[in-house]
Amino acid sequence: MNLRTGLVIFLVLALATAAVYYYGFVAPEPEAAKVQAPEDKDAPEVLIKGLSMSSWTDGEKVWEMEVERMELPRFGRNTVLYDITDGTIFRDKGPYLGFSAGMAKVDGRNRMEFSGGVVVDSEGKTLMAAESMSWDPATQKVTVPGEAKITADGSTVLAKNLIVDLNDEYIYTTGEIIAQQGDNIRITAGNMKYSVTRREMEIIGPSKIVIDL
């Protein structure tokens, strides 16, 4: 056997040995490659399910709520809360208003943007229903930018642009309202002021009253 033939045989044996080593010991198994899931860039950094939350200021409870799920997104975006129930806003060391919502976004200053069927109740009875509302604990003001329905003492008020000032317990409107009392009285007015604790409504500005006899 000449030198050329010997080198060819040596190279063939070397390649065969290398292939056996690679596929037998180095190459990943097909099943292992399937198990490795691709990274989801939209997935939250932290996901917490089923928790009770509360906030305190100067030793007094400001609010509390039950949350089905909380997501802490990546890149410093807002915290997102889902399925909010048994929410309570406290005033003068006692429960003042209750609330529930489908979801809320909380920014770095603890301001909350609620959406998805927001319901606010007073003394166990529905006081206001809206599609969205915002709440700033620092100013103690709740704002409803869109339409809202207020129900109190047999009267129903449809209004836009509501502001609830938790410091003086009034609900203010800055848009036209339509108030319905019973089946016979309908009032259209510029805006109104409603006392949550005294359950008194004050119509402000020109108004139109229609009575069905």
Number of domains in the chain: 2
If asked whether residues 31 and 50 sit together in one domain, one would say no
Residue 107: give the domain boundaries. Answer: 46-211
If asked whether residues 62 and 22 sit together in one domain, one would say no
Q: How many Cα atoms are found within 13 Å in the side-chain-facing hemisphere of 40?
A: 6
If asked whether residues 8 and 83 sit together in one domain, one would say no
pLDDT exceeds cutoff 80 at 28:
no
What's the CA gap between 29 and 150, in Å, rounded? Answer: 64
- Asked, for residue 41, whether it belongs to a domain, the answer is no
- Asked, for residue 126, whether it belongs to a domain, the answer is yes
pLDDT bin (cut points 50, 70, 90) of residue 166 is confident
pLDDT bin (cut points 50, 70, 90) of residue 110 is confident
- Asked, for residue 40, whether it belongs to a domain, the answer is no
Q: Which residue has the higher pLDDT, 65 or 91?
A: 65
- Asked, for residue 189, whether it belongs to a domain, the answer is yes
What's the CA gap between 22 and 3, in Å, rounded? Answer: 29
CATH code: domain of residue 121: 2.60.450.10
pTM (two decimals)? 0.71
| Interval 114-133: pLDDT, tens | 999 999 998 888 989 999 99
